[in-house]
């Protein structure tokens, strides 16, 4: 059992190992004999905190039953009277959106590869009776800092995930407004809510803007309930019909008509990695400035995504799950 300790402190030696805690940027890191191991510490007092969603006790159980190359591995758990500690697989490549903003210009084929790495673990989870319920770019990290065409994308946060029986209907309205499925807002949903979230992420990856935008959380939720979206930004003029078709079949109001993870994996855009894609880079806006190098597209996407993330962090709680109503 790990003692409660502050970041930067050296922990008591255990079986010849020298351990200390340090801030790793995304999570606290446990350094054991100079080897870095991510250590996620969650306070027991937050089990049913203000968000009403962070059910820490079930997280280790869910993660132990999952073994997939696109899901972060849980190696060990410790606990004391105050905290539950999760010893995780080390991912050093950064969050999905941060890497995309850094890389800037990328092709539709790269976007298809990323989306396939999201759908594959979701299919695996669903086949084992696990629903994630909070898929969003902040919950995907790259395994290493190599190019996005080489690094693996991994789901990292299972704080609101749940094991469900076949046909079981869930009612807890745990969500992040931008990515929440409409049926979750009605407190009657199944694992198909995860596929809606993937549709939202795919939309954002391809154009740099969310399909359901609002100046506040309630406006976003009203638009999500309506489920109406357009491919009206200039960026969509160079996106293939196959990509748009996948998004249209994921962002379907009726969950029974929405693509399952298995069906999405066999969609032409995923199965063949964007066969009809343009070779042009994906950009949130098009400029006729003779930019043959793609520099403007890269800078535009980077500034747009970073600015949007800062706006989210400053104004709203879109980037954290919360409970709507009782």
The CATH number that applies at residue 162 is 1.10.510.10
Q: Which of 274, 199, 258 is nearest to 229 (CA)?
A: 199
pLDDT in tens, 136-188: 998 999 999 888 888 999 998 888 899 999 889 999 887 788 899 999 999 99
The Cα 67–Cα 299 span in angstroms is: 37
Residues 157 and 231 in one domain: yes
The dihedral through the CA atoms of 278, 282, 287, 293 has a sign that is negative
Among 47, 80, 134, 194, the one annotated catalytic: 134
Q: Is residue 201 in a domain? A: yes
Domain boundary residue, one of 57, 88, 119: 88
Q: Is residue 5 in a domain? A: no
313 is catalytic: no
Q: Is residue 237 in a domain? A: yes
Instruction: Count CB atoms within 10 A of the CB of residue 159.
Output: 22
Structure tokens at 152: 């693996």
Domain that holds residue 110: 96-323
Residues 230 and 271 in one domain: yes
Q: Is residue 4 in a domain? A: no
Residues 102 and 83 in one domain: no
Residues 169 and 316 in one domain: yes
Q: For residue 28, what is the domain's CATH number?
A: 3.30.200.20
CA dihedral 34, 37, 43, 48 (to 10 degrees): 170
- Total domains, the chain: 2
CB distance 43 to 34 below 8 Å? no
Structure tokens at 53: 């969603």
Q: How far does the chain reach from its first CA to its final CA, in angstroms?
A: 35
CB distance 303 to 284 below 8 Å? no
Winning range, highest mean pLDDT, from 2-11, 27-36, 212-221, 313-322: 212-221
Residues 174 and 316 in one domain: yes
Q: Is residue 199 in a domain? A: yes
Domain boundary residue, one of 33, 59, 88: 88
State the average pLDDT over residues 249-263.
Answer: 98
């Amino acid at each position: 059992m790990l003692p409660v300790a502050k970041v930067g402190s050296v922990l008591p030696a255990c079986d010849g190992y020298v351990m200390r805690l340090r801030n790793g940027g995304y999570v606290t890191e446990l350094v054991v004999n100079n080897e870095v191991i991510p250590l996620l510490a969650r306070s027991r007092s937050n089990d049913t905190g203000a968000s009403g969603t962070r059910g820490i006790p079930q997280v280790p159980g869910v993660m132990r039953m999952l073994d997939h190359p696109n899901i972060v591995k849980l190696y060990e758990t410790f606990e004391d009277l105050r905290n539950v500690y999760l010893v995780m697989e080390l991912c050093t490549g950064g969050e999905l959106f941060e890497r995309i903003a850094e890389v800037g210009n990328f092709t539709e084929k790269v976007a298809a590869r990323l989306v396939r790495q999201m759908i594959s673990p979701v299919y695996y989870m669903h086949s084992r009776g696990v629903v994630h319920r909070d898929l969003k770019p902040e919950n995907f990290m790259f395994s290493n800092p190599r190019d996005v065409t080489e690094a693996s994308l991994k789901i990292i946060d299972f704080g609101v995930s749940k094991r469900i029986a076949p046909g079981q209907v869930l009612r807890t309205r745990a969500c992040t407004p931008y990515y929440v499925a409409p049926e979750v807002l009605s407190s009657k949903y199944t694992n198909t809510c995860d596929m809606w979230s993937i549709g939202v992420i795919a939309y954002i990856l391809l154009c740099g803007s969310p399909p359901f935008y609002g100046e506040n959380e309630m406006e976003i939720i009203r638009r999500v309930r309506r489920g109406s979206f357009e491919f009206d930004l200039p960026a969509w003029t160079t996106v293939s019909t196959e990509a748009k078709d996948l998004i249209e079949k994921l962002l379907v109001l009726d969950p029974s008509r929405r693509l399952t993870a298995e069906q999405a994996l066999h969609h032409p855009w995923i199965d063949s990695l964007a066969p009809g894609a343009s070779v042009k880079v994906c950009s949130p806006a098009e400029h006729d400035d003779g930019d043959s190098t793609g520099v403007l597209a890269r800078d535009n996407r980077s500034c747009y995504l970073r600015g949007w993330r800062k706006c989210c962090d400053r104004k709203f709680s879109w980037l954290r799950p919360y409970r709507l109503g009782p």
